[in-house]
Amino acid sequence: MATPGNEEPKKKRFFFHPFMDLLVRISKQITPEELSDIKILCSFIPDGDTNKMITAAQLFKKLYEMNKISETDTSLLEQLLCKVDRQDLVENYLKGNKGYQQNQQSTTSHIQDPQTSIQEIGRASCRERV
C-alpha cells in the first residue's frame, strides 16, 4: 500500500490500435508450422528478416510496416491465411473488419505465385480471393 511520499509507480498503459490488436489476436491462433508456411509465401520479405521472426505477430507487423496490409486492405493477409488452410481466421476475424468489403473487390495478389499453395484450400470463399 502506498503512503504519501512513497507512492507506487503507475503502470504504463499501452494503447493498441484496433487493427494491431486484431493482428495480435489472429497471430495467437497461428501454429509454428503455419507460421513457417506463411514465411515461405512471403518471399518478397528478405530471408534475413523472416528468419528473425518467431511469432506471427512479428510477421504481421513487418507486413504492416511494408504497407502490404492495413486496416482497409487485408487482402494479402486473407490470401496467406487461406493458403495455410486457416479460413476460420478469415471468417472469424477479418469479415468483421470494416475494410473487408473493399477487399472482396480487390484482385491484386501480393503473393508471387498465387497458384502454388502449401495446402489444398478447403472453402470456396478463400478460393475466390486467392
pLDDT score at 32: 97
Q: Are 41 and 83 in contact (CB under 8 A)?
A: yes
φ, ψ at 128 (rounded to 5°): -65, -30
pLDDT score at 16: 62
Given the C-alpha cell 508471387, which residue does it identify? 112
pLDDT score at 79: 96
pLDDT score at 86: 96
First to last CA, the chain: 57
pLDDT score at 106: 45
The answer to whether the predicted template modeling score (pTM) of the entire model surpasses 0.75 is: no
Query: Is 65 buried (19+), middle (13-18) or exposed (0-12) by CB count in 10 A?
Result: exposed
The residues of the chain scoring below 70 in pLDDT are 1-16, 96-130
